[in-house]
Amino acid sequence: MSIFYRTASLACLLALLQFSCSTTKAPQTATTTSATKSDSTDKAKPKTGMKSYKAVITKEAVSDSGVFTIHKVGEKYFYEIPDSLLKRDFLWVSRFVNLPSGLGGGYVNAGSSVNEQMVEWQKFGDKIVLKTKSYRSVAADSLPINLSVQANNYQPTIYAFDIAALSRDSSAYVIDVTKFLSSDIKTFSGLDSEMRKTYKVSKLDDSRSFIQSAKSFPLNIEVKQDFTFDAAEPPTNSETGAISLLMNQSMVLLPKVPMQPRIDDYRVGYFNIRQIDYGSEALKADEKSYIRRWNLVPKDIAAYRRGELVEPVKPIVYYLDPATPEKLRPYIKAGVEQWQEAFETAGFKNAIIAKDPPTAAEDPDFSPEDVRYSVIRYVASTTRNAVGPSVSDPRSGEIIESDIIWYHNHLRSYRNRYLLETGAANPSARTLDTPMDDLGEMMKEVITHEVGHALGLPHNMKASSAYPTDSLRSGAFTQKYGIAATIMDYARYNYVAQPGDKGIRFVRQLGPYDHYVINWGYRYLPDAKSAEAEVPTLSKWINEKSGDPIYQFGSGSGGYDPESQTENVGADLVLASTYGLKNLKLVAPKLYEWTAEKTNDYDDLEELYDELLGVWSRYIGHVATNVGGVHENRLKPNQEGFIFVPVDAKTQTTSVNWLLDNAFSSPEWLHEAKISRNIHHANYVDEIRSLQVRHLNGLLSPDRLARLMENEVNDVKYNALDMVNQLQRGIWKEVYTGSAIDIYRRNLQKAYLDRINYLLNETPPSGRRTVTPVDISQSDIRSIARGELVKLQQQLKSAQNRYKDDLSRYHIQDALVRIDNILNPAKG
């Protein structure tokens, strides 16, 4: 280094951040222009707090170079931010690494994203500031309205840092980030305002909180924070008065030039990003939605045009976690690469690849935390789950990276469901020691499902209703088409197949919708130079499949569309649940033989019996959704038909009769003495009561009754009164037959009266959101409930003297008192 250069650099250092220098141009502030001649007298005066580089980054520093260089000096952390990366777009992702059980009501897991936001680093005077940045509101730079968009969407400053020093060559700024990374910054915290209120969190305890690590990679920075908060009512370990979290903060450098986005269409299932475009020629701002997808471009566009399969310039590559057991690796790889079939439909060869992790010799810098690598992480945890999160560019929807997370115990859940749902027709499922080939096939399909999420695909719950129910009893059909039209549905097993059916596929697989949706989202359109130019082609592909149930999309949200449900298979829900329940009645008496008799232990028996009740409940729920159900068909105005179509009257009537016979009758088939008397001391009957009451209350919910009332104007000859009348006669059928009322029925009938009391005398909490909001007091709900209850009262008075057994007679007498109190609450 020449003496001249060192002197010039020192002058730049002393000039700090506001002056020009002949050899190194210092960046401008957010509000100032270049220095004037009158500033020259200040050049010899160092700014307050500014030190030389070597005084800040001492010989003791442990440095890690990457997108920013991170220096650890003692207990302090410093970022060295290149001037070239100021005002560049970064994506900041906050995730849980470890968290207490039950946090957030149990709806968040390790790996769950807490927040994603764009940020940028700016120089402002003698400080570096970290600001949020949003692409939610946009307008082209060339349009005058862009000035208004910027002025009316000013983003908050997250943190301001004093500049501790300049780098040796004055091309970067050194800031102390220790306090920032050690503080309870709300926008990055794992505890939202609702959690803080629920758990009575007072503050972050500095004495029990620290930065665990900070690592820099070429495109990202990863920081782990071990934080402990003082909390008066933590979700677990209440005696500690604390909540501890291990948080991961990822900061990812986004591409300088965003990928050309693809406009979302709600008729096809993709995760999306949304923007409000104020540059629209319409009379209002346009809301634009772009799908989330990887940027796949064919290497040879000419060959791609000719219809040849072409490899992408940059394939999607997943590396296996080094901790992955060897015996599971082939199944995980197969799960990833199963998507190659669908990408071939989109014209790509070898578009997605799974690889073993490189050895230290092959790649000494490999790290699962490096955003350049997508990893299937194998987590030693008792959690039974797998997730497929991804990081995407909020400007374009481009997926940058994803990590699939597989929790060690997850296969146990699949083993249990396999035994319960297919054990009647599938001999290999009738054991706790499921064959490895079967477990491997399950794992493969779970990985394929989670990778689907990472490719941009949400759940498509409508696909499980695409196939005729009886087709699922055909070996030829299920081997070719699977058990649902997509792997992205929650259709895990074929519970329809019956004993004696041959060649059946019991486990889900990739389906025809998967080929369709990948082609729609990923096929490269070389002649379309803008997102808008792609729309005619994309719409044409959708219109070609219009009306075919195999290619329809439904999110399953709302709970009112019987075709869009979780865990069901087959178009005819009543028939499918009938087959499923028939199989379950064969499995239940065998549970003892398949578990406790083999293990000499009751733990597995208890676990499986509880899950059996859950399976029964799901079959009930599938049928119940027909009642007051509304089919949702995703259509555009140029397509025929209605978006919302109520379920026909015959199906609703049949469904209520099925529920009376299979959900609300006394379930004697569940009472196996060898089971219940070895795992319960007294709560067996109450478990049944709880399950039945859940579905009873669901049928008599205000939102369902509101949809049934709408049938009156939708020309459906089955309304709320019809349903309540049919349900009441079935729940209280003993009143008409004079037969004894057993304990299950007595409990259910009391629950019925409680629910009618709720509809007549209680008001849902204010602000409560329902699928179909309704004002109960100004609707027919209370008229129907009161009228049917008065009718029941009269029938019970006539019937009470017919009962000879004391319990039935006492129960009727009690019911009459309850009804009187419901009809006259002030009196009660």
Residue 192 has pLDDT above 80, yes or no: yes
Q: What is the pLDDT of residue 100?
A: 86
Q: What's the pLDDT score for residue 275?
A: 76
CA distance 629 to 633: 13
Q: At residue 49, what are phi and psi to the nearest 5 degrees?
A: 90, -20
Tell me how far apart the alpha carbons of residues 344 and 304 are, in angstroms, rounded to a whole number: 11
Q: How far is the C-alpha of 691 from the C-alpha of 686, rounded, in Å?
A: 9
Torsion of CA 186, 190, 194, 196, to 10 degrees: -80
Contact 549, 571 (CB under 8 A): yes
What is the gyration radius of the CA atoms in the chain, in angstroms?
Answer: 32
The stretch 709-716 carries a mean pLDDT of: 92
* Residues in contact with 769: Cβ distance below 8 Å, sequence separation at least 6, in sequence order: none
d(CA 471, CA 212): 55
Task: State the DSSP H helix or E strand holding residue 130, giving kind and residue range, or none if neither.
Answer: strand 127-133
Average pLDDT over residues 33-50: 42
Q: Report pLDDT digits (tens) over 281-332.
A: 554 456 789 999 999 999 999 999 999 999 999 999 999 988 888 999 999 9
Backbone angles phi, psi at 87, to 5 degrees: 65, 15
Instruction: List pLDDT tens digits, range 693-707.
Output: 999 999 999 999 999
Q: For position 546, what pLDDT does the model report?
A: 92
First to last CA, the chain: 95
Written as one letter, the residue type at 317 is V
Confidence check: pLDDT of 6 > 90: no
Q: What is the Cα–Cα distance from 826 to 828, expressed in whole angstroms? A: 5
Query: Do 582 and 615 meet the contact criterion of CB atoms below 8 Å apart?
Result: no
- Looking at residue 769, its pLDDT comes to 55
pLDDT 10s digits, 483-515: 999 999 999 999 999 999 999 999 999 999 999
- Judge whether residue 667 has pLDDT over 80: yes
Residue identified by tokens 């509304």 is 630
In 37-103, DSSP assigns E strands to 62-64, 69-73, 76-82, 90-98
Q: Give the model confidence (pLDDT) of 579-617 as tens digits.
A: 999 999 999 999 999 999 999 999 999 999 999 999 999
Backbone angles phi, psi at 543, to 5 degrees: -60, -30
Q: Give the neighbor-by-neighbor strand order of the sheet with 272-277.
A: 137-138, 272-277, 286-291
Query: What's the rounded Cα separation, in Å, for the pair 609 and 625?
Result: 25
Percent of the chain with pLDDT over 70: 88
What tens digit of pLDDT does each residue of 558-585 get?
A: 889 999 999 999 999 999 999 999 999 9
pLDDT of 280 higher than 90: no
Token pair recorded at residue 258: 């965003």
Q: Has residue 441 got a pLDDT over 60?
A: yes
pLDDT of residue 313: 97
Q: In the predicted model, is pLDDT for residue 471 greater than 70?
A: yes
- Mean pLDDT of the residues in the chain: 88
pLDDT band at 814 (very low <50, low <70, confident <90, very high): very high
Instruction: Read off the pLDDT of each residue in 439-456 and give the average, rounded to a whole number.
Output: 94
Q: With bands split at pLDDT 50, 70 and 90, how would you rate the model's confidence at 27? A: very low
Give the Cα separation of 204 and 186 in Å (integer): 11
C-beta neighbour count of 749 within 10 angstroms: 24
For 528, which DSSP code?
A: -
User: What mean pLDDT do residues 628-653 have?
Assistant: 95
pLDDT > 90: percent of the chain:
69
Cα–chain-centroid distance for residue 554? 15
More confident residue, 260 or 380: 260
Q: Give the separation between CA 559 and CA 701, rounded to whole angstroms.
A: 12
Residue 13 confidence class, pLDDT cut points 50, 70, 90: very low
The pLDDT of residue 771 is 65
What are 166's two structure tokens?
A: 């300049």
Question: What integer is the mean pLDDT of 11-34?
Answer: 35
Tell me what the mean pLDDT of segment 633-637 comes to.
Answer: 94
Q: Is 745 left (phi over 0), alpha (psi -120 to 50) or beta?
A: alpha
Report pLDDT digits (tens) over 108-148: 766 677 888 899 999 998 899 999 987 654 445 555 544 55
* Separation of alpha carbons 822 and 828, rounded Å: 8
Q: Would the pLDDT of 619 be above 70?
A: yes
**Residue 671 pLDDT grade (very low, low, confident, very high; cuts 50, 70, 90):** confident
| Side chain identity, residue 819 | I
Q: Is the pLDDT score of 10 beyond 50?
A: no
How is the chain split into domains, by residue range?
1-46, 47-253
pLDDT of residue 690: 96
CB 289 within 8 A of CB 274: yes
